Structure 1
């Protein structure tokens, strides 16, 4: 009974929060390591070679912070040619104030592989959503992606070693950024992609929690032989992104539908009249309307 009530309170808080964020922010991004978010959190999302306790805020916040720290490198670098305002402007066209986030943590690059080989053999999507009730699609997206920790000298094989790799169209790419852009152009259709690459990986030294399994090496690459227990992971490559697409409308519709079933009169602690609650629900629905897929990026 207590668990059920907590689920309803979480849903109410989310509904009122979304409404306030819509009014007073330029853009907001719901984050969650669980798939559902409401009314119950749902199953935790799984990341490559990562073992975390979904019930420990220390673990889940470290994962979400890794995504935020990575995707904001776009405008936090000293040599930046972009700003947070630019990013928000691109992602919030047509009144779309909600964006989704994604993460590949750590970015799975075998210790003896190059970037081209990694992408050529990749199965499924590069990243997974860390926004509740929002599974990322592969078309009609506005996406900002940041990859950190893959050095340029691991782009592709040298010409005398390339063999069949030379016949791949991506072999013509001359940088990690160019190759990732080419990959996205082939896998996400009718989409606008903005890619940032950073040479330095993300440090995961103490006090970062030990989340990685024995097949993640000292520098974050995948290794076949188990890593000795006395050696800790020092850094990892990470890929993270922000998105605007119609799937966010599905998330808002789910929130609206779930919240509408609540009898607000039973929750006196919120001191909200039924008319106010209905206005809040209408506001969420109006926001959802902005994600109808009847536009061209």
Structure 2
């Protein structure tokens, strides 16, 4: 196959499912529009019982039973002919009554995944937010057809959802044989398996499922890349103290194994905090999104993930997942932070040097990891999508006085490297520049401001009507930075200030105090890797 080899994706939890639903929609939107990305890296070919060819993600997604509405765990692609639309047993007269479905009902009915596109309101272009949107599940957004081995629905030990890390561990133990079977199914058909993408919820019990899954992959598939991303929604304003403590402890317990057993681990959230106190949400200049709405926030994270994972999915790349991770994680820094510019500010007539010139003192991206702006970046991988080759260098006429040294560069790669070296002179930076923008699928929210054109360009003046944006340029970076020191240190401080023993599920679910102290010490040790010079650490 083209590219560096196949990748198997694993998702655990509802919010990871939200991010994944958008992520797969973005992949499918690129099938016919982007030859730079090799879709065979993430997708597999198959044949149904009726002889029809299929093209489905190499995916295993775990979620709770009852959490995916009309999406069946075995799917529809490979069932017997007529099984889905069987003849009803009733032979009497039938009367039909119909009425127009409401927005939320139409979304739920879309869970059958026949390929019909959904037009979801977003609130970003004048359409008001609807009450149904807040109750949408990831299966309401997903339009990608899944293989019968992909969806794995599990039962909660307590019957009321997964609150704690240890409950997630219990679910993993109960599902271990099934998970191993599905991993073997997808891995054994690969020509060359380069590794795994693991997406897991951090804030609930699926953190335990994700941590143990990382350990399983590390033990069963040595020498393969394991890139783990922990997802966490922005907390709502009415979050109760018990939920906040659960999130804090779940994060602390998961960080150690996710970092140690993965090639790298990156938390993804539009919130600036993983702790009990909710942090400010990331503000993007041209996005009118509701950070508390999973449909919106997960779309932002999916765009970032789609951009950040491009290097090992490129058709011409010999850059494997393992090499990708090794270039970022020296010095024991296996936890990374993600940033993204959505959309990258590019005017219709600008070249890349023109677009970067206003940002010579501060990069145009915003953090999509729970941390603040870093003062030091140790290493980073930067991907910029949506800059055609003809616009990657300056097009000023010969003899024109150049506005900056960027305009003197002879290639787009030189422009990007020169820009990054001026901002992060001490960082080891790898760059990838793609000409094609990120194509947006039919279920992606239209939450862009009126300054963004249908082609994703940013105008100086707002348009009279907001167009439907079909694709946008995006810039993203994975960074090992000093900002993670503060993030991890605050987690340790909040744990020290909280009486975790008050919350019974952790004591009854076999979390020993010694094990928890060891987890806190692991997080504290990890924080030390990101200190600048002789910076003191108040959490010691």
Same fold (TM over 0.5): yes
For 1:163-242, list aligned pairs within 5 A.
163-165=400-402, 168-227=404-463, 229=465, 231-242=467-478
Q: In the TM superposition, what is the alpha-carbon distance from 1:103 to its structure 2 partner?
A: 0.5
Q: Which residue in the other structure is 2:287 paired with?
A: 50
Please, what TM-score do these two structures have when normalized by structure 2?
Answer: 0.52
Q: In the TM superposition, what is the alpha-carbon distance from 1:219 to its structure 2 partner?
A: 0.7
Cα separation, partners in 2 of 1:5 and 1:119, compared to 1, 3 Å: same
Q: Which has more helix, going by share of residues?
A: 1
Structure 2 residue corresponding to 1:136, chosen from 371, 374, 378: 374
Residue deviations 1:102-140 (CA, integer Å, cap 9, x gap): 101100011222221221222632322211134223x44
Measure the CA separation in 1 of the matches of 2:307 and 2:421: 22
Corresponding residue SS for 2:517: helix
Measure the CA separation in 2 of the matches of 1:294 and 1:82: 32
Indicate the structure (1 or 2) with the bigger Cα radius of gyration.
2
Structure 2 residue corresponding to 1:291, chosen from 513, 516, 530: 530
Structure 1 residue corresponding to 2:491, chosen from 250, 255, 269: 255
Q: In the TM superposition, what is the alpha-carbon distance from 1:228 to its structure 2 partner?
A: 5.1
Q: In the TM superposition, what is the alpha-carbon distance from 1:195 to its structure 2 partner?
A: 0.5
Structure 1 residue corresponding to 2:330, chosen from 87, 93, 97: 93
Residue deviations 1:263-290 (CA, integer Å, cap 9, x gap): 2221220232222211111111111222
Corresponding residue SS for 1:11: helix
Q: In the TM superposition, what is the alpha-carbon distance from 1:68 to its structure 2 partner?
A: 0.9
Deviates most, 109-118 or 187-196: 109-118
Q: In the TM superposition, what is the alpha-carbon distance from 1:230 to its structure 2 partner?
A: 6.8
Q: Which residue in the other structure is 2:346 paired with?
A: 109
Q: Which residue in the other structure is 1:281 paired with?
A: 520
Deviates most, 244-253 or 52-61: 244-253
Kept in 1, the 8 Å contact 2:450–2:466? The answer is: no
Q: In the TM superposition, what is the alpha-carbon distance from 1:199 to its structure 2 partner?
A: 0.6
Measure the CA separation in 1 of the matches of 2:272 and 2:399: 41
Measure the CA separation in 2 of the matches of 1:27 and 1:188: 21
Corresponding residue SS for 1:164: coil
Q: In the TM superposition, what is the alpha-carbon distance from 1:38 to its structure 2 partner?
A: 1.9
Higher relative contact order (CA closer than 8 Å, sequence separation 6+): 1
Q: Which residue in the other structure is 1:31 paired with?
A: 268
Q: Which residue in the other structure is 1:83 paired with?
A: 320
Kept in 1, the 8 Å contact 2:288–2:448? The answer is: yes
Please give the root-mean-square deviation of Cα atoms over the aligned residues, in Å: 2.1
Structure 1 residue corresponding to 2:505, chosen from 269, 279, 283: 269
Kept in 1, the 8 Å contact 2:438–2:474? The answer is: yes
Cα separation, partners in 2 of 1:246 and 1:225, compared to 1, 3 Å: closer
Measure the CA separation in 2 of the matches of 1:149 and 1:280: 42
Corresponding residue SS for 1:12: helix
Residue deviations 1:139-186 (CA, integer Å, cap 9, x gap): 442010000001121234434277222x63222212222101111111
Kept in 2, the 8 Å contact 1:264–1:277? The answer is: no
Kept in 1, the 8 Å contact 2:378–2:481? The answer is: yes
Q: In the TM superposition, what is the alpha-carbon distance from 1:41 to its structure 2 partner?
A: 2.8
Cα separation, partners in 2 of 1:80 and 1:37, compared to 1, 3 Å: same
Q: Which residue in the other structure is 1:61 paired with?
A: 298
Cα separation, partners in 2 of 1:121 and 1:134, compared to 1, 3 Å: closer
Deviates most, 144-153 or 1-10: 1-10
Cα separation, partners in 2 of 1:125 and 1:168, compared to 1, 3 Å: closer
Please, what TM-score do these two structures have when normalized by structure 1?
Answer: 0.91
Q: Which has more strand, going by share of residues?
A: 2
Q: How many residues align?
A: 293
| Structure 2: gaps (5+ residues) | 1-237, 535-540
Corresponding residue SS for 1:29: strand
Measure the CA separation in 1 of the matches of 2:520 and 2:275: 16
Q: In the TM superposition, what is the alpha-carbon distance from 1:209 to its structure 2 partner?
A: 0.7
